[in-house]
Amino acid sequence: MSTPPAAVEQAQKSMSSTLMICEHCDTVHHRRPLARGEVARCARCNAVLERHQRIGLDAMFALVVTVMVVFIQANVWPIITLGLNGEEIHATLWGIIIMMWKEHSQVVSVLAAATLFFFPLCKMGILGWLLIFGRKGQRAPGFVPLMVVLHYIAPWTMSEVFVLGVLVSIVKAQLYFDVTPNIGAFAYAALALLITIFSGIDLHQLWDKLPAESTS
Amino acid sequence: MSALPRAHELGLIGCHVCGQVCRDTQIEDAACPRCGSSLHRRKPYSCVRTWALLIAAFIFYIPANVLPIMRTASLGDVDDNTILSGVIELWVKGSPDLAVIVFTASIVVPMMKFLVISTLLLSALRGTNWARRQRSMLYRLVEFIGYWSMLDVFVVALLTALVQFGFFSQVEPLPGVVYFGLTVILTMLASQSFDPRLIWDCKEDDD
């Protein structure tokens, strides 16, 4: 990739602050500042173009740290406990992944490990790293490639689906056994709530809020 | 030019990765000045890729439904469940409301994805003006709900890890669940490789 001359870059930047292109239908729109709670929609296809971002970089960082703490809890503690004749069996996330590997469903094991552990972990780690520098108004080292990675892994984190899976499993297992949700299950429920808050945050804003010149 | 100009009419390209508005330089492998990803007016080979992934997903979808996904063995009583029989069991014995959720996630959503994506592809190929706003909406819906189909895969994994009493009772995953997991992944890839901009790439006579 070649660096464009300064003039071109200047033109690009002014264009990007006044124009935006709907990523669903390629319609070019004029950009204007949004008031609190406002959502800009494409006049052609009605897709959301931009939301007013109520949460600043500091609050975003706080949210990422919270998600990390909850994520650790969700992984450390057992999710469901099954009791039978005084014996207790705990299922943790990694217990599930390892068990599926042993039971000849390696595909499922890899899917679960990726969508419930590695991708969420990468996403939070990268965001945390970008925001540590972002709060100071700087671009973190590796900002550009990391933002691209974030774009690609975003659709592949499935913790919120897992929460529903826990609920269904409890009901199903309850037909035959005595099962109780454990701390991990509640941590996952909290995680699902936090992810819902997160889904309203447009990460594209980091590109605009942290312009290239501010690289440390 | 209509009141709502599209990027190519103004000689612009929006970066598919970071959203940057770029000038269309007409160079074959131009890169986005902001994020370095290569710029495309449309996703490359969108239709071919989407068809390929969708057909592959459909092929896997057949064993996913026919083969059992989970074996419950309890005191010598072996019971193999397919996706549908699992839903029925939940409806009859457990809670009908959860059965509806599981039915939606593992049967309605994948079916809908096959129907919606192939409709989108066929109508995009024919370049028809028919219901374009609604088709855009359908696409966004499919993108949004697609990954909830993984629900059943996670349920089987959880129950397998939980119910391990060896002699007394045991839950085992069966091949159906692997095919189902692959179906979900492939349909997700298919909907991601479809380019919704194609819906609007036709003559603008009535808007």
Structure tokens at B147: 């990954």
Contact B163, B169 (CB under 8 A): yes
Q: Is B75 left (phi over 0), alpha (psi -120 to 50) or beta?
A: left
Query: Along chain A (216 residues), what's the average pLDDT of each consecutive run of 10 residues?
Result: 51 71 90 88 90 87 94 92 80 91 89 94 94 91 93 90 91 83 92 86 86 60
**Residue from A117, A168, A123 nearest A147 by CA:** A123
Q: Which fold, B45-200?
A: Butyryl-CoA Dehydrogenase, subunit A; domain 3 (1.20.140)
ipTM field: 0.87
Contact A34, A51 (CB under 8 A): yes
CA separation (Å) from A69 to A62, A72, A76, A157, B190?
Answer: 11, 5, 11, 17, 34
d(CA B70, CA B93): 17
Contact A154, B144 (CB under 8 A): no
Instruction: Give the minimum alpha-carbon distance from A16 to chain B in angstroms, rounded to a whole number.
Output: 5
d(CA A140, CA A123): 15
**A143: nearest CA partner in chain B:** B35
Q: Report A:8-47 residues touching B (Cβ under 8 A).
A: 8-9, 11-12, 15-16, 19-28, 43-47
- Which residues are CB-neighbours of A127 under 8 A, at least 6 positions away? A60, A64, A150, A203
Does the structure show a pLDDT above 90 at B186?
yes
- Which residues are CB-neighbours of B40 under 8 A, at least 6 positions away? B13, B16
Instruction: Give the minimum alpha-carbon distance from B74 to chain A in angstroms, rounded to a whole number.
Output: 9
Contacts A107 to B, Cβ<8 Å: 178, 181-182
**Each residue of B108-167: pLDDT tens digit?**
999 999 999 999 999 988 888 888 899 999 999 999 888 899 999 999 999 888 887 655
Instruction: Tell me what pLDDT residue A1 has.
Output: 41
Contacts A169 to B, Cβ<8 Å: 154-155, 158-159, 162
**Each residue of B69-104: pLDDT tens digit?**
998 887 778 889 899 998 998 888 878 888 999 999
| Helix axis angle, B175-193 to B151-162, nearest 10° | 150
Instruction: Tell me what pLDDT residue A215 has.
Output: 47
| Helix axis angle, A159-174 to B96-103, nearest 10° | 140
